[in-house]
Amino acid sequence: MIKSPNGDDHVRVGPDDRSLSADSILFINPETKRPCQQPPWSELTAINANTGDIVWKVLLGSYEVLDAKGVPKNGATNRGGSMATAGGLVFIGATEDQKFRAFDSRTVKQLWSAALVDVARSIPMTFEGKNGKQYVAVMAGGGNAGAVGPGRLYVFGLP
């Protein structure tokens, strides 16, 4: 709901009088669930905080149906954030392909990925267990269509 200048409540609707969903606001094709704009659709970017310069960037995610057709990678829409460790790892879920990834922050090489049941649209966290081992955790839920539902907490031990 949005408020008009005179204080009345209004619901944003499209030209067909249907409510605008998050996908329609983000210009997602409702049939393919892919963006309606020019790729790349998602990149993970490292920026030097002292200079503002881009250090590296890499396409993030993909769509299986396009991969199967041999379409060059364009990234996949994402709604989430990354986390970097002091040891030089960057973890991110966020992408609609339902994967959780680890990158080397120096080389941008993807070191690892795990297939999740849901999209991890949250920012990962890390913690040290009582056993002294480091863990990374991420909350995922909502499914590909963005439906609200139960979430899952994924926790991975670091070597």
* Residue ranges per structural domain of the chain: 2-157
Residues in a beta bridge with 127: 135
- Alpha-carbon gap, residue 102 to 126, rounded angstroms: 13
Give the chain's residues under pLDDT 50: 1-4, 23-24, 144-145, 147
The whole-number pLDDT of residue 29 equals 75
CATH of domain 2-157: 2.40.128
The whole-number pLDDT of residue 48 equals 92
Three-class DSSP category at 23: helix
Residue 95 neighbours by CB distance under 10 Å: 25
- Alpha-carbon gap, residue 21 to 157, rounded angstroms: 37
Per-residue model confidence as pLDDT tens digits over 89-133? 999 999 989 999 999 999 999 999 999 988 898 999 999 999 999
Do 42 and 59 meet the contact criterion of CB atoms below 8 Å apart? yes
